[in-house]
Amino acid sequence: MVFFTWAFVQRLEPEVIADDAPISSPTTAPEDDTSSQDPGSDAGTDDTSADTTPTTLPPELESFLAGIISDQEDLVTMASAMDTANAGWDADEISYGETEAALIGLRDDALAFRDAVVLRQAPAGFTEVATAFEDAIAAAEDIASAADAILDGLRASDTGQARRSALLDFRTAVEAFNQAVTAMEAAAQAAGG
């Protein structure tokens, strides 16, 4: 069967070449029509607005937001570990030594987190993003300060009030950082769209 098809194509090759030129033109034309539909669709359909949304953000702004979101993901992990360590200590499920070691590690993580956020630079020309970023920096500094206070609270001679109060401050700062990230994302979308 393949041989007969090949033999048939061989016999028709000069005519097929002549016919292929017009056939390939219409094949190319619909692709061109699709391209010409994109700008027309840009005015009215959601599909092309979804395509233009990522391309409307400048690369430096996209890169900045990706870094901040990565920091936020690290913070989620840190906050979960902080809650676990404190809950374990409060429930007498882990020893003082284990809790202290965990809190020392988390304090160091919080300092590294703060440094990573502070070293980022918001791209120029996006005032609302820069304002929200300042809030994120303030929250990151509060997170580091609260993590240190939680460790100090564990080592304090009270019955845990200082540590629990610092843990509340830590959670408040985490929420403030998350709100700042949300504000940056909204400001970036508004600037790009």
pLDDT tens for residues 86-111? Answer: 999 999 999 999 999 999 999 999 99
**Which positions ≥6 away from 93 have C-beta within 8 Å?**
87
* Cα Rg, the chain, nearest whole Å: 30
Regarding whether 67 and 24 lie in a shared domain, the answer is no
Closest to 181 measured CA to CA, from 118, 116, 144, 137:
137
Range of the structural domain that residue 47 is part of: 2-52
Calculate what percentage of the chain has a pLDDT beyond 90: 67
Q: Indicate whether 40 and 92 sit together in one domain.
A: no
**Does residue 45 register a pLDDT over 60?**
no
Question: Same structural domain for residues 179 and 91?
Answer: yes
The torsion defined by the Cα of 183, 186, 188 and 191, in degrees rounded to 10, comes to: -120
3-state percent breakdown (helix, strand, coil) of the chain, nearest 5: 90, 0, 10
Same domain, 29 and 62: no
Taking the whole predicted model, whether its pTM rises above 0.75 is answered as no
- Total structural domains within the chain: 2
- Let me know whether 35 and 87 are in one domain: no
- Band (pLDDT 50/70/90 cuts) for residue 14 is very low
Q: How confident is the model at residue 193 (pLDDT cuts 50, 70, 90)?
A: low
Tell me which of 34, 52, 70 is where a domain ends. Answer: 52
DSSP state string for 115-184: HHHHH--PPTT-HHHHHHHHHHHHHHHHHHHHHHHHHHHHHSSSSSHHHHHHHHHHHHHHHHHHHHHHHH
Co-location of 92 and 173 in the same domain: yes
pLDDT of res. 51: 45
On whether both 42 and 131 belong to a single domain, the answer is no
Mean pLDDT (the chain) is: 81
Distance CA 190, CA 193 (A): 5
Say whether pLDDT at 39 is over 60. Answer: no
Both 86 and 181 in one domain: the answer is yes
Are 63 and 45 contained in the same domain? Answer: no
Q: What is the pLDDT of residues 101-147, one digit of tens each?
A: 999 999 999 999 999 999 999 999 999 999 999 999 999 999 999 99
